[in-house]
Structure 1
Amino acid sequence: MLNLATLLENSAFKFPNKIAFTFMDTSLSFAQINAAANQVANGLVAIGIQPGDKVALSCFNLPYFPIIYNGILKAGAAVVPLSVLLKADEIKYHLENSEAKAYFCFEGTEELPMGKMGHAGFTETTDCKHFYMIMSKPEMPAPIEGIKTLGSLMVGQPAHFDTVPTAATDTAVIVYTSGTTGKPKGAELSHSNLIMNTVLSSNLFDAKAEDTFLIVLPLFHIFAMTVLMNAGLYVGATSILMPRFDAEGVLQLMDAHKVTVFAGVPTMYWGLNSYLDQNEYDISSIKKTLKGCLSGGASLPIPVLEKFEKHFEVAILEGYGMSEGSPVVTFNQYDVGTKAGSIGTPVWGVQVKLVDEEGNDVAAGEKGELLYKGHNVMKGYYNDPEATEQTIQNGWLHSGDIAVKDEDGFYYIVDRTKDMIIRGGLNVYPREVEEVMMKHPAVSMVAVIGVPDDEKGEEIKAFVVLNEGDTASKQELMEYTKANIAAYKYPRIITLTDALPMSATGKILKKELRKV
């Protein structure tokens, strides 16, 4: 038996009264988190959830996330974490594609009414039978009549549960990701995938029970889930939860809780640097406790890295990963050495190579597609054998990213074979944006690309051709797209044009658009 929930259970046994998670004025011990997860597991079994079933979860960085996440795992089911920014149609797609039997969704806020969006998406499905709204206070009733709450599932359930034995290769989590075409695909990650990556991640930055992590990266994202939440559960560290990045708020939490480990995407480091450049803030006490920082999700510009390290007198370890890799593939490692601007060297148990278009290994200093294999490679894309076969060949996962390796064995990402845009560390897939924009009655054709942006790394730009005789302003198109897709995905830059550059076969030449 190997169940990912063992990470929580072991720390609940070793450190029952130690604080596991803190959110604002609420702090819960490992024993409390484990007991609540047991109640969730008992509740899931009571409504008929079977081992191997899928259960979806939409939740901010709140203690509810690790409670429900581990409750699902304890019941032998697989967790399907969803972005909190998804709209109703996107939620419907994810629930149906993953064949989720139940769905937990946080109520949200006035600005982000997740509960209403989630319920709207849920009601459009046919096979997802159970919807539970997560209320900010467990005893609160749901704002929509007739809807069950997480509290109603847990009430009266025992705080003890005999965790369902799962095989190491059983699916623990399905994380949605996507290439440049089609809908998002669910990367199936096994209990073994995630436990191995959790252990090696904690070793990368020498995580210990005495540590205090600050988790502002979203927990539904594989980076925060594995490298912070699960690593913290594994070693028995305390995690401070923050639902949304705010530079001043981050500094205040670092100060108040004597944070030792911070992980972020490049835009967060950029934001902290910018705040300190413009405001007086005494970071002397933060510098005394902060022992390590991690960066992933996109390349961290060297000037940003150097400025942050100068401010805080602490190293940022940069790495590379993918949802399909559980996620960590390479990292700058203390025992191997570090190089600014690189994604480091392969992590324990993972092999990496660079190949040309014919699949031949390339020499040091030459560009090639990054391939990797090892314990971190996903089982495959859920119910998509064709995409799995294209991505994993002879055990090697083809990342679609172009890299070079220097003479010392350090890797550097230089380009992407895919058109995927990484905006603020979040993946945006042009085709998905294009399909939404094409539904506007005035739109004839759309091409979406990523353009360099100092703050977000990349910004989304759409080139739009309108139907002859129709009119629509850039602002109207922007608002229309924003209303029908997750907020981080709509284009902030729109160019109206009479035509798009095409090849002889009618393919839009995005490389020409990037020159505009």
Structure 2
Amino acid sequence: MYLTQGLHRAVQQAPERLATVDGERRRSYRELADRCARLAGGLTGLGVQAGDRVAILAANCDYHAEYFLGLWWMGAVANAVNTRWNVKEMAYSLNDSEAEILLVSGAFLPMVETLKARCPGLRHVLHLGKTPCTHADGPAGMIHYEDFLARATPVEDGRFGGDHLAVLLYTGGTTGFPKGVMLSHDNLWSCAITRLAESDPPDPFVTLLASPLFHTAGVAKFITQIVVGGTAVMMPSFRVEEVLATIEREKITDVILVPSMIQMLVDHPEVREYDLSSLTRVAYGASPISLAVLERALAVFPDAQFTHTYGMTEASPMITLNSWRNHRGEALSNGRIRSAGKATWGMEVRIVDEDDREVPRGTVGEVVARGDNVMLGYWNNPDATAETLRGGWLHTGDGGYMDEDGYIYIVDRMKDMIVSGGENVYCAEVENVLARHPAVASCAVIGIPHDTWGESVHAVVVTQSGVEVSAEELTDFCRGDLAGYKCPRSVEFRDSLPLSGAGKVLKQELREPYWRGRARRVS
């Protein structure tokens, strides 16, 4: 199993078929393969070898297609940097991965000098510029990507596969530092094949890549597209009107979204003015969808099959799938729509207690899983790897139960994490920054329900005696070290935090007023 196999298959069977669409620019599979071979050759000329890490900092674009496939062609490892991070977080991932090459698009050029200063290991920066281009288009001291490709000598595909490392995807961490999830060719390939085995791909298979390609969901969707030789339409950011217009213009048949995106689409006042009849498959994940939003979505997209996938970066990312059959008819009233579905093909899922013993059906415990799509481990972090993969099972940190038919229901998070608009926010990461403010004596961060984003970051703060500080000042302070989506959206001031006998903050007490009356403690 190697991730460039689908590219070669498409070139053999339909070389002129559209591989990527990026605005007005359209590239066939023949062009894509040639550019991948040239990128691999050019990077080889810069000293990049199999196993070396190469990073990209760009919004979704067609350059991502040749970046991923070109690196896998030569056995290098992709590190797609989270574009929503601030420069400190970006620099951390570049240094931790020991990336020596960075591809960067124009929107992020102002960050390059700071990144170079913070990342002494960066040897070359390639500027993703316009096509056609001149030497003048590239900023001084950078290599212009199109010139670089034009001069490069294409090389043969090394057909790296199996357990060879393909990507490093950085997630937040309970220690305050992101962890690099190591996913192999086998991990990513097996997840793509599993997804295809669950339901036949639409014909034609035209995917709108609205999910960012620094997330495992976006990468997995792109790989599935390449496996079947479909067309990937790139969406640099989620803008409702542009998404609706693109579905109509490009005849999109397949998309993956988070529930907040679906809600914004179906609630747009002009949604009925677009021809959305081509869309036949909608996958969503990161959080459950409310029944009210689903009913509105089914009315807007009556011919689309909705599926819910549950997983995490460490599983490439899919663990369970709730079929489209459970999004219609009786399933809307029997409660099955609230489930995360059953274990996907090739996956084993259990619910276990604190001693990793399987619990009876209907009993809440931790969701654990194993299969070929489970990560190799965390980059340079053997302790976290051993803890998460103990006993050969991926410990998700999610609390849930399994019914008699094998359906999984997620009810809480055992790890201290918030999911807001599809982004993971680790509470410790925010608390570590808040605690550095001179006015803060102690603090706790929790997730509270939010009608649009699912959950919102909420901080409970105890100030130093006699010191006053505003919520706005604390949020602004966090922005210096954290991406905007991680910063508190609300701040509550208290005289003290509830503590256990061992001195641990009782977050359940802090969360209780906000989640009271809800069937589950996640949203």
TM-score bracket for this pair, using the shorter chain length: over 0.9
Mapped pair 1:100 → 2:99:
yes
Equivalent residue for 2:118? Answer: 124
After superposition, the Cα gap between the structure-2 partners of 1:37 and 1:235, relative to the gap in structure 1 and judged at 3 Å, is: same
Instruction: Report how far residue 306 of structure 1 moved.
Output: 2.2
Residue of 264, 268, 282 corresponding to 2:273: 282
Residue of 261, 282, 287 corresponding to 1:293: 282
Equivalent residue for 1:384? Answer: 381
Mapped pair 1:259 → 2:241:
no
Paired with 2:449 and 2:209, the residues of 1 have a C-alpha distance of: 27
Deviation per residue, 1:220-265 (Å, 9 max, x gap): 1111111x21111111111221111122222111111221112100
Mapped pair 1:150 → 2:145:
yes
Q: CA RMSD in A?
A: 2.1
Match of 1:184, as an amino acid?
P
Which stretch has the larger CA shift, 500-509 or 61-70?
500-509
Deviation per residue, 1:175-228 (Å, 9 max, x gap): 1123433311111111111111112223334215622111111111111111x2
Equivalent residue for 2:83? Answer: 84
After superposition, the Cα gap between the structure-2 partners of 1:496 and 1:238, relative to the gap in structure 1 and judged at 3 Å, is: same
After superposition, the Cα gap between the structure-2 partners of 1:152 and 1:290, relative to the gap in structure 1 and judged at 3 Å, is: same
- Structure 2: runs of 5+ lacking an equivalent: 514-523
Mapped pair 1:212 → 2:203:
no
Equivalent residue for 1:419? Answer: 416
State the TM-score, normalizing by the size of structure 1. 0.92
Residue of 506, 511, 516 corresponding to 1:514: 511
What percentage of residue pairs aligned between the two structures are identical? Answer: 33
Deviation per residue, 1:251-298 (Å, 9 max, x gap): 1111112211121001111111221xx346335x313x2211101111
Match of 2:295, as an amino acid?
E
After superposition, the Cα gap between the structure-2 partners of 1:118 and 1:485, relative to the gap in structure 1 and judged at 3 Å, is: farther
Mapped pair 1:451 → 2:427:
no
Mapped pair 1:304 → 2:293:
yes
On the 8 A contact 2:326/2:337 being kept in 1, the answer is no
Equivalent residue for 2:435? Answer: 438
Paired with 1:118 and 1:494, the residues of 2 have a C-alpha distance of: 34
Deviation per residue, 1:437-496 (Å, 9 max, x gap): 333343333321111101000011112233334433222222232243212211111223
On the 8 A contact 1:91/1:122 being kept in 2, the answer is no
Mapped pair 1:166 → 2:160:
yes
Residue of 392, 396, 417 corresponding to 2:393: 396
Which stretch has the larger CA shift, 418-427 or 242-251?
242-251
Paired with 2:132 and 2:409, the residues of 1 have a C-alpha distance of: 47
On the 8 A contact 2:305/2:324 being kept in 1, the answer is no
Equivalent residue for 2:521? Answer: none
Instruction: Report how far residue 409 of structure 1 moved.
Output: 1.4
Paired with 1:489 and 1:35, the residues of 2 have a C-alpha distance of: 40
Deviation per residue, 1:9-62 (Å, 9 max, x gap): 322332211111112211111111222222211111001001111111222111
Match of 2:309, as an amino acid?
G
Equivalent residue for 2:48? Answer: 49
Paired with 1:334 and 1:499, the residues of 2 have a C-alpha distance of: 47
Equivalent residue for 1:111? Answer: none
Match of 2:371, as an amino acid?
G
Aligned length: 504
Paired with 2:127 and 2:437, the residues of 1 have a C-alpha distance of: 32
Instruction: Report how far residue 3 of structure 1 moved.
Output: 2.9
- Structure 1: runs of 5+ lacking an equivalent: 109-113
On the 8 A contact 1:133/1:142 being kept in 2, the answer is no
State the TM-score, normalizing by the size of structure 2. 0.91
